[in-house]
A and B are shown apart, each in its own frame.
Chain A
Amino acid sequence: MVYRGPYKVRVEEKDVPAIEHPNDAVVRVTRAAICGSDLHLYHGMMPDTRVGMTFGHEFVGVVEEVGSSVRNLARGDRVMVPFNIFCGTCWYCARGLYSNCHNVNPNATAVGGIYGYSHTCGGYDGGQAEYVRVPFADVGPAVIPGWMDDEDAVLLTDALATGYFGAQLGDIVEGDVVVVFGAGPVGLYAAKSAWLMGAGRVIVIDHLEYRLAKARTFAHAETYNFSEYDDIVVHLKKITGYLGADVAIDAAGAEADGNFVQHVTSAKLKLQGGSPVALNWAIDSVRKGGTISVMGAYGPMFSAVKFGDALNKGLTLRMNQCPVKRQWPRLFEHIRNGYLKPSDIVTHRIPLEHIAEGYHMFSAKLDGCIKPLIVAGS
């Protein structure tokens, strides 16, 4: 798949990626996913998204070729690849901040390397393709355990790990009231993870009924459709005894809907780095002294965030891209114990040839779409 400009993608024959560094591998993709943050690229909101680029930072596959210094992987291994590209040894990697690696993204210091996520994130082609170059093959990928199927594994490369991480950033303690903005894959996983961390009440906010239904069944959450309320913030205050939530998680990010002006200035006219509607609701609806966790994707441009309210309320704001690999051992345990079943949220499986329809369907939220997987090589 290649990007052709805002709202346009097509399938094109490209050269099979080559080994460009001794620690590279080339992986033949078996499953990829379209992520909510891909819409940011698709809508042309992420600076330096070049025509001809292949998207896709969520993928699993089989190792096809390895570079001369690769020791931990061999041809034929079934691997899952975290969306972060990272070196393992820089100041940040040494301390577990894999998403902030300093050795993989010459284009920016404020963000790490991400597969298929514009030149702002390093200019790497992504996995919505038949083959993909995987740098630092000894560091990033892991062999998929025999008991795990590809569809669970592909969700561990970003969505589940990110949702779980978002709940962690909320510093949840037993009995906390947690509100999650956005019932997409990441929001659903964050809501589910909040229970693992001992939340006393989990509330999910969205405007798509089918996603809220999933939040009730999959994540056992209490749900509200913001489009039914005059002012969702006041409603949240009312149902929390006028205190507000202890923790608010922004799992919507810059594509957030709900405010016409914000939508036009950011998503359409690209005057902002994204619509901060969800983030501002989080700031408004959390209690004083509460914590905001942000894992929705935002671009590098400025957004109109209500910083004064965050200050005056004494909030703790925590955010990052998820260091995916750090989450894996614990998430493997939760899956084995039956606490999490990642692929339960998959709604569509789309052949790579039909990816343009897949993008439109996901972007326009048609057909009850929650998580579309891309099936390559069919």
Chain B
Amino acid sequence: MTYTSERPPLPETSEQLRARIPGWGADLDPKDRPSVPKLQWQEDRTGAHWEFPERQPEKWPRERSIEHEFLTPVFGTSCPPAGFSGMLRKLSYRKYSEGRAAHWLLLLAADRVDAWESHIRSLLTLRPDNPITQTGVLSEFSRHGVSSRFGKKRADVKHQMLDPVIVAGPWVLVGGLVFAAIRRMLRRGGQ
């Protein structure tokens, strides 16, 4: 009872739980839990044989957080910044610390720009972006799209109706604008 000093009774005793659940209480003692204590000196260094690691060569000016003193000795080399999105990214890293909302908002904006840049660029290649195969919507048919959702008390059903609108909306909008612009141009040309 919460309003007295006794704690509410549990449905099962420890003995009952031990009998029912494999391994119950195997790590009852916090000392048997691997990350206890939190900061524990790691004698083995998990196999590292350096004090400070050798440094990976920097093949292009690698963007980094201004909260770092220098470029870390090892870093990823996937997707160097390029295009307008790359400029936004470099600006964000050069100017704002991780503590600033501007840093993250600029990066998120750059992501959206990057997606559009890449999409447009893909139209000039032999393999343009394909909204059917790349979004995997075909699995709606092969993976029980309808029966997975309805009559299942899922909380997301109410907004999933809206999701295609939010995701596809901007594309439809831009497509419509382009169509209207072309039609206007053609009409003018015809006069």
Contact = CB atoms under 8 A, between A and B. Distances in A.
Interface of A: 4-10, 20-23, 44, 47-54, 69, 71-72, 85, 87-89, 93-98, 102-110, 113, 119-120, 122-125, 135-136, 138-140, 165, 168, 171, 174-175, 177, 193, 195-198, 200-201, 207-209, 220, 225-228, 240-243, 257-258, 260, 263-264, 268, 270, 273, 299-302, 323, 325-327, 329-330, 334, 337-340, 356-361, 364-369
B42 A93 contact: yes
Given A44-B115, A367-B143, A50 B78 contact: yes
A202 to B, nearest CB: 9
B76 A122 contact: yes
Contact of A89 (B48, B136, B155): B48
Interface of B: 1-2, 7-8, 10-12, 14, 17, 20-28, 30, 32-36, 38-42, 45-54, 56-57, 62-65, 67-68, 71-79, 81, 85, 89, 93, 98, 101, 104, 107-108, 110-112, 114-119, 122, 129-131, 133-140, 142-145, 148-149, 152-156, 158-160, 162-163, 166-167
- Chief secondary structure at chain A's binding surface: loop
Given A7-B167, A95-B40, A106 B10 contact: no
A9 B25 CA distance: 43
A93 B51 CA distance: 12
B144 A123 contact: no
Contacts of B27: 193, 196-198, 330
Closest 9 pairs between A and B when the two form their complex, measured CB to CB: A241-B8, A339-B23, A88-B48, A360-B136, A123-B76, A5-B115, A124-B76, A106-B64, A47-B107
Given A6-B115, A89-B50, A364-B145, A227 B42 contact: no
Given A8-B134, A9-B134, A198-B14, A53 B78 contact: yes
A139 B44 CA distance: 10
Contacts, number: 319
Given A52-B78, A87-B74, A241 B36 contact: no
B154 A94 contact: no
A119 B137 CA distance: 27
A88 B50 CA distance: 9
B77 to A, nearest CB: 6
Given A98-B46, A227-B153, 19 more contacts: A4-B119, A4-B122, A8-B134, A53-B79, A102-B72, A106-B65, A106-B68, A123-B75, A193-B27, A195-B21, A196-B24, A196-B26, A198-B28, A241-B8, A301-B108, A327-B35, A361-B136, A365-B154, A367-B143
